[in-house]
Amino acid sequence: MTPPRFVGGRWADARQALLLQAALGPSPQAETAWQAWTKQVDLDDVDGRSMSILSHVYKNLQSHGYEDAETGRLKGIYRQNWYRNQLRLHNAADAVRALAAEGIDTLLLKGAALILLYYRDAALRPMSDVDLLVRTEDAARAHAVLERLGWHTYQRLRGDLAATFAVIHGVGYSAGPDKAIDLHSHALEECCYPGADDSFWKAARPLDLEGTTALTLCPEDLLLHVCIHGSRGAPARVLHWIPDALAIIRQDGATLDWDRLVAEARDRRLSLALGTSLRYLHLTFAAPIPEASIRALESTRHGWLERLDYRAQGGAPAAHWMAVRDLCRYLRQARGQRPWTQAWGFPGYLQRLWGLDHSWDLPREVLRRTRRRWRIMRRRRQPATTHPYHR
């Protein structure tokens, strides 16, 4: 099999690779990488994606006893990350307690789970929000509980909320500075169909969040979630998913049920994305991943929908790629239906996905989204100066 070419938004570019080496590598490679990076980049002009991993760089260099002229600034970034993440976790714990009081189970995803289980240092994993998964049938009730507590969504929700949460991935809520939650009705946006998360819930493990018991994914499912989330090619995630995945593998790799991981990816038609991500971690960062597991994923027959979806995820944020992505999401949900039934249901799916009142609003919304994507493409041609806190 031809080795994959690791190019595009899913993978670290040359400068980001230096930063990752400074953040994750041993001495003296970490110091050498940091020195090479600072010769190419001025901290005053660093982009938000790189800024998000500087806490990791600070902790790693400090562990090696290395200091230079930028150490004080790195320490300030580290402390700010720690403070803001502590606030986010504290505020999320209040929401988890309120949901539990209504009999709604919550499962922590991504940054919050990784901080508590693997990093054990709130500064090392910047978050813009805390991701909470609830069962799909509980999502409408959870929405009502959060709104009653003063959490408000910035997304449009129209019509039957239960039907909306059945097809969407999640909804963002805010209640003020550093009070942000992403409420997920499905763990993965590629898998928003009935029963998609049953195995996740069945294997979930308890997790203490400031004295409140929540749940989180088992290590195999958490690794799958991290890799698939990172494989979508969003620039803000490229410097998160790599250390996240490596943290899980380095701590639990010897006891991971790799067969379960492969089976879960195959069942969700995500073996292409997971296999390529694991191959990248193995080749680029010498991650201790069994070769047999990677080969099992690579040798899986990848259907046209899985291949198209993976390509659309890694494409530029152009309107046509976003349309392809939405179509792939719908076809994944509608699998097993007759072709004409799938075609008939697509407009209604978009209406619920985009929070529209009527189906005749679709043409105007398509035009609005197309214009927005063109603006995003123009901005991305400019040097990145985005906010340092990303999911």
Confidence at 378, pLDDT banded by 50, 70, 90: low
Whether 41 is covered by a domain: the verdict is no
State the Cα–Cα distance between residues 129 and 375, nearest whole angstrom.
Answer: 25
| Highest mean pLDDT of the ranges 289-298, 338-347, 371-380 | 289-298
Residue 39 in domain: no
Q: What is the CATH number of the domain that holds 166?
A: 3.30.460.40
pLDDT tops 90 at residue 352: no
Query: How confident is residue 385, by pLDDT bands cut at 50, 70 and 90?
Result: very low
DSSP labels, 182-247:
EEESSS-TT--STTTTHHHHHH-EEEEETTEEEEE--HHHHHHHHHHHHTT--GGGHHHHHHHHHH
pLDDT confidence tier of residue 236, bands split at 50, 70 and 90: low
Between CA 174 and CA 135, with CA 202 as vertex, the angle to 5 degrees is 30
Domain count, the chain: 1
- On whether residue 206 sits in a domain, the answer given is yes
DSSP per-residue string spanning 300-342: S---HHHHHHHHHHHS-S-HHHHHHHHHHHHHHHTTTS-HHHH
User: What residues contact 258, with CB distance under 8 A and at least 6 apart?
Assistant: 220, 289, 290, 292, 293
Does residue 38 form part of some domain?
Answer: no
Residue 45 lies in a domain: no
User: Looking at the domain assignment, is residue 343 inside a domain?
Assistant: yes
Instruction: Indicate whether 359 belongs to any domain.
Output: yes
pLDDT bracket for residue 12 (50, 70, 90): confident
Which residues is 107 bridged to in the sheet?
A: 133, 215
Distance CA 318, CA 310 (A): 15
Tokens of 50: 């790189």
* Dmax (CA) of the chain: 65
Q: Rounded to 5 degrees, what are φ and ψ at 154?
A: -100, 5
Q: What is the mean pLDDT of the chain?
A: 86
pLDDT of residue 354: 76
Residue 40 lies in a domain: no
Give residue 328's domain range.
Answer: 89-380
- What confidence tier does 1 reach under pLDDT thresholds 50, 70, 90? very low
Residue 297 — very low, low, confident or very high, per pLDDT cuts 50/70/90? Answer: very high
* Alpha helices, H only, 52-174: 54-63, 71-101, 110-114, 139-148, 161-167
| SS3 call for 18 | helix
